[in-house]
């Protein structure tokens, strides 16, 4: 049964109603104001890199996932790197957004081992992209990812967000092959195993996108979350946030290297 508008709005309000959590440190990986990484948790803890969503648009920044980063650091002993990147309307889009994700992960890798790469929504898309194209050799946990750009465009998700990301309708044919996880080589399941967590009642990014990606990528594990929409998995205090935290800590404890 599809997520109702009121249920989806309630999940969004619960996440956005949380007070922003200040980081313990911030590092730059480039000169643009958006080329920063906020760090949470003890230095030396298992490092988890997190990419936020918001349909790649400037209006949505990393701050809405700062409670998640703080909860993972404070409750699970992780060192969390919450990555910002240039977004559409703020110098991002094609190719800047993708370049920033690659540069941020290179920066983190130079500073130490990244155990897990996680992303939510559009950030989940970027995490899957990085698993195929970027400097990633670690497990990837993608939450409600826009895993199939072409299908997302057909569905009109985000009011044309895919076309905006890639510079307009006229560029889709040329740029989708380098941007769409469905069209890129599959991640190496030994070096970068992929887990998808997706609410079965997600109205913002339908679970069908994750189903299509998992069906086309042997070894990808999809966990559909019944009774769950788009935001609950990244909202501290929910049962499904606990599931996400367990996945991240399980991989952080055993993974090696990016």
- Segment 215-246, tens digit of pLDDT: 999 899 999 999 999 999 999 999 999 999 99
pLDDT band at 254 (very low <50, low <70, confident <90, very high): low
Which residues neighbour 194 within 8 Å (Cβ) at sequence distance 6 or greater? 128, 131, 139, 140, 142, 187, 217, 219, 220, 221
CA distance 135 to 47: 15
Pairing of strands 114-120, 47-51: parallel
Cα 113 to Cα 116: distance, rounded to the nearest angstrom: 9
Please, which residues have CB within 8 angstroms of residue 86's CB and are 6 or more apart in sequence?
Answer: 32, 34, 35, 92, 93, 96, 97, 100
Query: Rounded to an integer, what distance in angstroms lies between the CA atom of residue 67 and that of residue 73?
Result: 10
pLDDT score of 5 more than 70: no
User: Domains of the chain, with CATH numbers?
Assistant: 5-253 (3.40.50.1820)
Contact 234, 112 (CB under 8 A): no
Q: What is the mean pLDDT of residues 178-194?
A: 94
Angstrom distance (rounded) from CA 133 to CA 94: 15
pLDDT reported for residue 8: 80
Phi and psi (nearest 5°) for 166?
Answer: -95, 10
Of the pLDDT bands very low, low, confident and very high (cuts 50, 70, 90), residue 255 is very low
Structural tokens at position 208: 């069908």
Q: What percent of the chain has pLDDT over 90?
A: 88
Question: Residues 163, 138: contact at Cβ < 8 Å?
Answer: no
- Mean pLDDT over 99-120 rounds to 95
Taking the model in full, what pTM does it have?
Answer: 0.95
Return d(Cα 62, Cα 56) in angstroms, integer: 11
CB of 89 closer than 8 Å to CB of 59: yes
Among 157, 149, 153, 165, CA closest to 57: 165
Count Cβ atoms below 10 Å from residue 52 Cβ, excluding itself: 26
């Amino acid at each position: 049964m599809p997520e109702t508008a009121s249920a989806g709005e309630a999940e969004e309000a619960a996440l956005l109603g949380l007070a922003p959590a200040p980081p313990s440190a911030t590092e730059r990986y480039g000169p643009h104001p958006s080329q920063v990484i906020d760090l949470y948790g003890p230095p030396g803890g298992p490092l988890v890199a997190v990419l936020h969503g918001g349909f790649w648009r400037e209006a949505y920044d990393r701050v809405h996932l700062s409670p998640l980063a703080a909860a993972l650091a404070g409750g699970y002993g992780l060192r969390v790197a919450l990555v910002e990147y240039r977004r559409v309307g703020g110098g991002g889009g094609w190719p800047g957004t993708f370049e920033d994700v690659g540069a941020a992960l290179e920066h983190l890798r130079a500073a130490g081992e990244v155990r897990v790469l996680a992303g939510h929504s559009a950030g989940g898309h970027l995490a899957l992209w990085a698993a195929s194209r970027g400097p990633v050799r670690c497990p990837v946990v993608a939450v409600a990812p826009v895993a199939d750009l072409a299908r997302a465009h057909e569905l009109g998700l985000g009011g044309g967000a895919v076309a905006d990301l890639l510079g307009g309708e006229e560029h889709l044919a040329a740029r989708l092959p380098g941007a769409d996880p469905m069209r890129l080589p599959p991640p190496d399941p030994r070096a970068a195993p992929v887990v998808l967590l997706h609410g079965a009642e997600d109205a913002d990014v339908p679970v069908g996108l994750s189903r299509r990606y998992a069906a086309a990528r042997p070894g990808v594990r999809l966990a559909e979350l019944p009774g769950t929409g788009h935001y609950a998995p990244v909202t501290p205090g929910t049962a499904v946030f606990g599931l996400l935290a367990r996945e991240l800590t399980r991989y952080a404890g055993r993974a090696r290297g990016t």
